[in-house]
Structure 1
Amino acid sequence: MSLTDYFIVLFIALFMMYAIYDELITARRRGDTRLRVPLKRRNGLDSAIFIGLIAILIYRNITSHGTQVTTTLLMVLAFFSVYLFWLRQPKLLFKLEGFFYGPVFIDYRRIQSMNLSEDGVLVIQLEQRPLHIHVSKLDDLESIYHFMVRQHLADS
């Protein structure tokens, strides 16, 4: 295997670890999941460009009679990319002490304020920067609101 193949294996391993963490570990970390809210997919153009570049690399490797190992590794990388960017549903997981937004856990005590924009985006102001949460269904905003109110009453 060449150095390029080792880098591709590294990226595949990183994608696989992120997928396992996102699907299996975050649901079990920090206690039971109280509320699960699906989010809109974002960065579709970026992911299409990335997968297109992988497709170009596969084509280039095949036409220049590159190794079969490199072609196979690139196909596996393309599969993981399609899964992570287009098939996997991003989600917001509410726990007892906080919530997971992507791979990051945010404690409820860090929330300074919450606002709802006109286009249905929930803006949660933290100490340093705001989080813009784009839910896939607007009805989920009401579920988040009721959950946060119950959480605030339980903390009081």
Structure 2
Amino acid sequence: MTVTDIVLVLFIVALLAYAIYDEFIMPRRNGETLLTIPLLRRGRVDAFIFAGLVMILIYNNVMNHGAILTTWLLCALALMAVYLFWIRTPKILFKNRGFFFANVWIEYNRIKEMNLSEDGVLVMQLEQRRLLIRVKNIDDLEKIYKLMVNIQ
């Protein structure tokens, strides 16, 4: 196994661990999930660039008669990229004491101000940070509002 194969295995394991955490562990952390809202995807160009680079590496490895293991690892990396960038949907999970946004736990008492922009983006001002929450369905903003009113 070459250094390249070891690095590929490490990346695949890291991406797989992230996918398992995002899909199965995070919804069970910090209590019961009250509301799950799908968000708009960001970084489409980055996803295409990454997938294109992996495809170039696969093509290059096959044409240069590289190791079969490296080709399979690159294919596994490509499958992980397809899952993470195109199949998986980003979401915000609301719990009793806070919410998960971009896999980060934020308690409700950290919210200093909430606004809704003209284009339907919910803006939450924290102590030193501003969250821009772009929901996939505009009607979900009303669900978030009702939940926040009930919790506060």
Same fold (TM over 0.5): yes
2:128 aligned partner = 128
1:76 aligned partner = 76
Indicate whether 1:25 and 2:25 are aligned: yes
1:54 aligned partner = 54
2:43 aligned partner = 43
Uncovered stretches (5+) of structure 1, i.e. residues with no partner: none
Q: CA RMSD in A?
A: 0.5
2:148 aligned partner = 148
TM-score norm. by structure 2 comes to: 0.99
Q: 1:135, 1:141 within 8 Å by CA — same for their partners in 2? A: yes
Uncovered stretches (5+) of structure 2, i.e. residues with no partner: none
Deviation at 1:89, TM superposition (A): 1.0
CA distance in 1, matches of 2:140, 2:111: 19
Deviation at 1:74, TM superposition (A): 0.3
Deviation at 1:129, TM superposition (A): 1.2
Structure-to-structure mapping, 1:55-134, within 5 angstroms: 55-134=55-134
Deviation at 1:102, TM superposition (A): 2.0
Give every structure 1 segment of 4 or more consecutive aligned residues whose post-TM-superposition deviation is greater than 6 Å.
Answer: none
Q: 1:38, 1:92 within 8 Å by CA — same for their partners in 2? A: yes
Deviation at 1:84, TM superposition (A): 0.5
Q: Secondary structure at the match of 2:96?
A: coil
TM-score norm. by structure 1 comes to: 0.96
